[in-house]
Structure 1
Amino acid sequence: MQFKDFIQKLSSVIRAGGSTDKFTRSIFEAIVTEEGQPILDEYKKSSYKGFYNGSTSIRKISQKINAYIDPMEFADYINQFPDAVAGNLSNVFSADIPDISPYNAAEKLAELFVEIITEAAGLQNKPTEKPLPPIIMDAEHGIAPDLAVYRDGVLYMDRIQQDNDDCVSPFKNYLDKAVSYYSTKKTLLYAEKPHPFYELYVCNTVKYHKYRNSGTNDTKQEITIENATIEKLETESKYIIIEGIGGIGKSMFLTHLFLSSAQNSETSGIIPLFLSLKNYKDTTDNVVDFIWKSVCEYDSAISRKAIIEALQNKELVLLLDGYDEIQSSARESFQSDLEAFIKSYNGNTIIMTSRPIYDSFVSFSKFSVFDIKPLTKPQALELVGKLEFWDDVAKNNFMKALDSKLYSSHWEFASNPLLLTIMLMTYSAFGEVPAKMHVFYSKAYETMARLHDASKGSFKRPLHTNLTPEEFSKYFAEFCARTYRDEILEFDERSFTAYMTKVLRGSTAESSGITPHDFLLDLTDNLCIMYREGSTYYFIHRSFQEYFAAVHFSSEYDAKLTRIGNFFEGMKNRNYTDKTFDMMYDMIPDKVERFIFLPFLEKLLTGYSQKGEDEYWEFLENQYPFLNYEEGEVGDSYLLSPQSFLYKAIIKFKNMDYAFDIDSVEWPSQIYDLPTQNWVRVYSEFAEDDGFLKYQDPADIDESVLDDTTLIPEEQLPYQYDRYFGSPDSTGLIIEIEIYELRKYAYKYREIRECMEDTDFPLMREFLEVKEYYKKLKEKTEKEDASDDLFDD
């Protein structure tokens, strides 16, 4: 299609008056990135008018802007118009783009515009011809006739004989350097010298299963993949999230996928890119820009154009490490950027790792979520067996203990690769492994502080700060608490110094001349709790930041604990595996109850506007505003969880969490009067409109396509589904119980209310026990305050 035809068809729908030159320029502006915008200033109004009329070729401008085009930008431009515009555009371009529809018009037009520019620039299927070298005939060797060609009276070698540089992937240099970087690792045991990756790695099993931490209940069958590769994962989905707790080996797993895929890249034609999401900032323009800048860290010569062409050709596998490490301020923009990216460059596999997070990836509707499973006992033994440890006797004894009892008694530690390594170190130093998490980390720190290096296992070298390990931990704990509060996980020397300067201000260490740089050297060189990559410093694992933050919080004076409790209550970017508060509670349970739980419950239970049974309903609306009743087979369900972090902590620590019993409640028939969502089983390929675009004639559908089914809400059923397959079978329903409605229309829903007001109803039982706990805690506190005795016998 010629640009003239493209622009004039666009104009018929979205120009809405104005001059042709301004409209034409605006269309170029919509597809060119910010870096390429100055190129557009080089052309006059008459040029843009000529582009519109077809009297001026777009070849030169296309050649200049080709490296700066981004179809995502153009798709966003089209999507800003009202929905009716997409319908009109799909009608106007239906002859040029057979599969265009109102749902994909923006993406299809962006693809067409890119094709027009690329073709006009003379780059489509027209590789640059290199001059062929002339050949001097050799009387002895000659040359095969089919490998020679005469041009202008000169004999040249045919193209198949010349250097095949044009076929070399533009990503070769990137892959060579990235593979070299990731093929060795520094770990807790090998902090001074990196070791070959596969000498310290055992591949975790990954599993797609229905039930996850958030309570979402997915509809696919459970799938377990051992010794995973990208190819194995791609058979299940093109878009995958690998979810796992801290230290379980998510980054190592992604490294394994990268190295195994890169090894076969030349034959497969698929290029894996390892991208660290902690580098995705508020200032990042979009996903393409992020990919390009990440790849440039290994190959500064690679062009943005090469990235875009590979994406358009569906040649890339994006391995995105650490979604949970994106700062909360940038996370929402990343979600929208990624959604737009997938629309523009669909078909490129994306595998992303993350800790479990609060919203459980609700925004990533196209992604299948796999859990990276804890190490099994054979895997744990295999990993320890691989590790090069300084004490063979201690290692062998640990493996025997791990096999006989430690794996079962300390499963939470032994099944986690990082904690398993710390277990080995702690066991060799103390002959045991503590069961309490905070005690475990305390012993781990003591072990790491006493070790000289991984080859000798003895303490010889003093800290740069000249502090004892106990003194050092006090300052480091405050540093961790400050950075934990600010959600900071990485530092350059300047930012580290800024935080540590605040910690040291007015301290004995400062007056002794100890500098933040001394702390940084100890953390990286001696203690190995942090490590350096380039000019950036990281915790060897986030769990150390959480432990030391808990140490600092637990050491604060009593009155400040209430403020610390308020901080945890108000945390927005909390993930499910954060153990900071749990460890603090284990360290000082009585203080947490008195100075955090008591003020919180005082405010919660005495702040209700009404007393009696209405107090209970106000509590429900405050903590459990929505309940769900499920019947049959449904696609999504959610664990019932209170709104408040501190309330949830109270019922967990005091064993008063009865919400899980809600599923066994026998509801009155009046429950069916509430809003209901019906679920139906449909063919997976046709759960969205894309399937009907792919198979526009039902006769073209192969029976194998109908082997896979899924569950969706009936209201989300595509309108074409009935015409193709008839009405799908109903499988179940979800009824939403909104507490506000039950309070507002108390008489109307009196049967449901009577059921929920029964003392055996799980939430009523929980409410009454929480009130009783608050009453006893308050009495105990008042008694202690009134006593002058050292002990309250």
Structure 2
Amino acid sequence: MTSIELALGAAAVKGATGPATNALSRWGRRKYDKFIATYTNALATYITAAVDHCSCVKNILYRDQLAKTDEKYVNVRFRSGTGETEDMNLLSALLHNRRVLVRGRGGAGKTMFTKWTTLRISETLLNHQRIPIYIELRELRFDKDLEFFEDYAFRAVSNRRTKPNFQQFKAGLEAGLFVFILDAADEISKDHRHQALKIIDAFAKHYPEVGILLTSRDFTEIGGMTSFEHFETQPLSREQALTILEKLDYREDIKGTLLDNIKAGNYDKHAFFLENPLLVTILLLTFDQSREIPVKRSAFFKRAFETLYERHDASKEGALARDHHAGLPMDEFEDVFSLFCYGTYINSMYNFTQEELVANFRAAIQQLDLDESPTDIAKDAEESVCLIVKEGHEFVFVHRAFQEYFTAVYIKNYKANDIGDIIEEALINGQGENTLEFLFELDQFSLEKRYVLPKLKAINSKFRKLDFGKIEDQISGLALLFSRFKIFEKTGAFASLRPSSRIDNTFLFAISNIYPQTNTLRIFFGGEHAHDPFKELPLEKIRKSRSSRREKNLSDIELLDVSFSPTSSDWVTETDLPKRLELLVQDLFALEEALDAKYSEKVSKVRKRFSGFGRG
């Protein structure tokens, strides 16, 4: 008897509690038995596959073998508006029908957490009667007829041989028989990301008995997931970082020396490289090569690449370096791989079929006019250098941080006059997070002088036309940034926000990792109420204003759709939005002035240095 049969069958046991027991009571024995007969085999097959997938993990150390998730997992800590919490608390929240959004940077352990969560839920089915549905969102494919997330979920768990019934599946959702674990919303194709988040949010509202875990890196739209409690991953503690190092399968002498180095008091000096599991792993590799730790992150990843390109088998002392199929020198392979990363990054490609992998390497070597086999280079990327790994039937980056680093390398080496457009594609279409920071270290001049400063001047020129002492200009300034926002009519709580196309709001948000003062969302999301920014808005006046209109979302919940227009003055004046806007604009002006002075001064210094040359 499978765990599904045991869990669903346990509903009839006297004194049993849980969603299956509730479903039995609500549906009656006949309907409940029909559900079990239909779904037992389909769900058992699905869960077996999901558990197999979640039980193992690959990374840059374990290139020839799968490591056990439970052996390598280190408990993740999270922070929300109410303080810090632990992974076991979030697991408990999911089993009590809560919706949890975990946000964090690349390498923070989000995927490991989703796999760990799936394993814990599956092994305790008998206790809570909830069935885990694990979905990697990069696999999400949108058909014209896919309007609701339950349609996709039904396809994901269905087994054709059992001929499952969609209405029965919906009944299971309504009864709370499932917990959904949705990994990496940021890896959904950018063309479908907005639609995907919309249907996931609607799904969460429509099925209040279903627990949902959603993970993602930060991007503009993810803040609008109002059905979810928001949590952020926290950096590893010193003890957690040491535990991860101790668990890695690596030469004990190298590992021991690094552990001694950190324990001797060098933790604070290199805290960045120990803040998440990926960086800890890379740190070990780079330390093996040089016995020192780079100061800059870009140097850190460069050294990691050099180590991977030339390294022996890390677990065996004295093992020989692997052959390279294409035989390219390291610098030429870096040229090809950085172009491959840039091209795939701006097209939001994070996973590939075999054919897509080879095709994109072919495009790179053709641009570089190299006479090499794209198949051999793809093999090198996977087998020799281990920057690409195979997961199931597809290939993915060993971690997206490498794709972002090499995208920045490509931009650094790009010398044509359209460098601004090249940066724009990466930061806007690629949702550049780490890419921007890598580029800031690798080529700050090109980033600031040829891209940030011209864009900032164009935006500020529009704000300079406004008189912020006049309410009509204050509203015009808000409308430059945001075309409209939506709030729930009953409570006034935030539902969604639509940036305006009149200025490059996305640019300002994209560069806010380097220049926090450009984050336009702080107009609404600043202050104490990070996830209830409209708490103080005059809701009754907004209801009566001609700048708002009523509508319903997919779950039939009433919303107010509010725009910034001349008729907004009757409620905007009662908020601090104009003051927040003015402070933002002052910061944008100050940043432009600082960059202007910085690069004008550089030119002046060069002129002065060579003033003795010329015709006299």
Question: TM-score scaled to structure 1, two decimals?
Answer: 0.59
Change (3 A) 1:762 1:231: closer
Distance (Å, rounded) in 1 between the aligned partners of 2:506 and 2:461:
18
Q: Where in structure 2 are the equivalents of 1:744-763 lying within 5 Å? A: 763=585
Which of these residues, 176, 180, 195, is aligned with residue 67 of structure 2?
Answer: 195
RCO comparison, higher one (Cα < 8 Å, 6+): 2
Distance (Å, rounded) in 2 between the aligned partners of 1:186 and 1:652:
29
Which of these residues, 397, 402, 427, is aligned with residue 544 of structure 1?
Answer: 402
What is residue 289 of structure 1 aligned with on the other side? 151
Segments of 5+ residues of structure 1 without an aligned counterpart are 1-114, 129-163, 211-220, 627-633, 664-675, 681-711, 718-735
What is residue 304 of structure 2 aligned with on the other side? 444
Distance (Å, rounded) in 2 between the aligned partners of 1:271 and 1:757:
47
Distance (Å, rounded) in 2 between the aligned partners of 1:677 and 1:227:
32
Instruction: Indicate conservation of the 8 Å contact 2:41/2:162, yes or no.
Output: no
Distance (Å, rounded) in 1 between the aligned partners of 2:162 and 2:180:
17
Instruction: Indicate conservation of the 8 Å contact 1:245/1:356, yes or no.
Output: yes
Change (3 A) 1:393 1:317: same
Deviations 1:555-613 (A, max 9, x none): 111412122244356x25626xx121221222122233332244435545667885999
In angstroms, what is the RMSD of aligned CA positions?
Answer: 4.8
Q: Where in structure 2 are the equivalents of 1:180-219 lying within 5 Å? A: 180-207=52-79, 209-210=80-81
- 3-state SS of paired residue (2:221): coil
What is residue 31 of structure 2 aligned with on the other side? 124
Change (3 A) 1:790 1:527: farther
What is residue 376 of structure 1 aligned with on the other side? 237
What is residue 359 of structure 1 aligned with on the other side? 221
Distance (Å, rounded) in 2 between the aligned partners of 1:123 and 1:559:
72
Distance (Å, rounded) in 2 between the aligned partners of 1:167 and 1:755:
57
Distance (Å, rounded) in 1 between the aligned partners of 2:180 and 2:242:
32
Deviation of the 1:192 alpha carbon: 0.5
Is 2:91 the partner of 1:230?
yes
Change (3 A) 1:624 1:201: same
Change (3 A) 1:600 1:191: same
Which of these residues, 349, 352, 357, is aligned with residue 211 of structure 2?
Answer: 349
Equivalent position amino acid for 2:189 in 1: Q
Instruction: Indicate conservation of the 8 Å contact 1:272/1:316, yes or no.
Output: yes
What is residue 777 of structure 1 aligned with on the other side? 599
Distance (Å, rounded) in 2 between the aligned partners of 1:532 and 1:308:
34
Equivalent position amino acid for 1:313 in 2: A
Is 2:434 the partner of 1:579?
yes
- 3-state SS of paired residue (1:328): coil
Deviation of the 1:488 alpha carbon: 0.9
Distance (Å, rounded) in 2 between the aligned partners of 1:238 and 1:527:
42
Is 2:128 the partner of 1:265?
no
Instruction: Indicate conservation of the 8 Å contact 1:554/1:584, yes or no.
Output: yes
Distance (Å, rounded) in 1 between the aligned partners of 2:73 and 2:254:
21
Distance (Å, rounded) in 2 between the aligned partners of 1:774 and 1:451:
45
Change (3 A) 1:243 1:288: same
Equivalent position amino acid for 1:195 in 2: A
Q: Where in structure 2 are the equivalents of 1:1-400 lying within 5 Å? A: 124-125=31-32, 170-207=42-79, 209-210=80-81, 221-222=82-83, 224-228=85-89, 230-235=91-96, 238-283=98-143, 285=146, 286-296=148-158, 301-305=161-165, 307-342=169-204, 344-362=206-224, 364-389=225-250, 391-400=251-260
How many percent identity over aligned positions?
Answer: 22
Distance (Å, rounded) in 2 between the aligned partners of 1:499 and 1:790:
51
Is 2:345 the partner of 1:484?
yes
- 3-state SS of paired residue (1:171): helix
Deviations 1:124-174 (A, max 9, x none): 25659xxxxxxxxxxxxxxxxxxxxxxxxxxxxxxxxxxx99996652233
Instruction: Indicate conservation of the 8 Å contact 1:272/1:318, yes or no.
Output: yes
Change (3 A) 1:775 1:176: closer
Instruction: Indicate conservation of the 8 Å contact 1:651/1:770, yes or no.
Output: no
Distance (Å, rounded) in 2 between the aligned partners of 1:574 and 1:222:
28
Change (3 A) 1:452 1:311: same
Distance (Å, rounded) in 2 between the aligned partners of 1:328 and 1:596:
23
Distance (Å, rounded) in 1 between the aligned partners of 2:33 and 2:460:
75
Q: Where in structure 2 are the equivalents of 1:493-572 lying within 5 Å? A: 493-505=354-366, 507=368, 509-510=370-371, 514-567=372-425, 571=428
Change (3 A) 1:170 1:536: closer
Deviation of the 1:543 alpha carbon: 0.9
Is 2:313 the partner of 1:456?
no
What is residue 558 of structure 2 aligned with on the other side? none
- 3-state SS of paired residue (2:596): helix
Instruction: Indicate conservation of the 8 Å contact 1:191/1:528, yes or no.
Output: yes
What is residue 9 of structure 2 aligned with on the other side? none
Equivalent position amino acid for 1:594 in 2: K
Equivalent position amino acid for 1:193 in 2: Q
Distance (Å, rounded) in 2 between the aligned partners of 1:168 and 1:649:
46
Instruction: Indicate conservation of the 8 Å contact 1:185/1:194, yes or no.
Output: yes
Change (3 A) 1:651 1:330: closer
Distance (Å, rounded) in 1 between the aligned partners of 2:439 and 2:609:
27
Equivalent position amino acid for 1:584 in 2: L
Q: Where in structure 2 are the equivalents of 1:631-650 lying within 5 Å? A: 644=505
- 3-state SS of paired residue (1:460): coil
Deviations 1:202-237 (A, max 9, x none): 120233x22xxxxxxxxxx335235446324445x5
Deviation of the 1:349 alpha carbon: 1.2
Question: TM-score scaled to structure 2, two decimals?
Answer: 0.74
Distance (Å, rounded) in 2 between the aligned partners of 1:379 and 1:484:
31
Deviation of the 1:784 alpha carbon: 6.4
Distance (Å, rounded) in 1 between the aligned partners of 2:51 and 2:254:
34
Change (3 A) 1:754 1:445: closer
Instruction: Indicate conservation of the 8 Å contact 1:316/1:349, yes or no.
Output: yes
Change (3 A) 1:346 1:764: closer
Distance (Å, rounded) in 2 between the aligned partners of 1:775 and 1:407:
37
Segments of 5+ residues of structure 2 without an aligned counterpart are 1-24, 484-491, 525-532, 544-561
Deviates further, 521-530 or 501-510: 501-510
Equivalent position amino acid for 2:300 in 1: F
Deviations 1:515-539 (A, max 9, x none): 1111121111111111112331101
Instruction: Indicate conservation of the 8 Å contact 1:292/1:303, yes or no.
Output: no
What is residue 330 of structure 2 aligned with on the other side? 469
Deviations 1:282-325 (A, max 9, x none): 227232332233335xx554543264453243211111111111
Instruction: Indicate conservation of the 8 Å contact 2:509/2:519, yes or no.
Output: no
What is residue 148 of structure 1 aligned with on the other side? none
Instruction: Indicate conservation of the 8 Å contact 2:76/2:86, yes or no.
Output: no
Change (3 A) 1:366 1:791: farther
Equivalent position amino acid for 2:363 in 1: K
Distance (Å, rounded) in 1 between the aligned partners of 2:90 and 2:273:
26
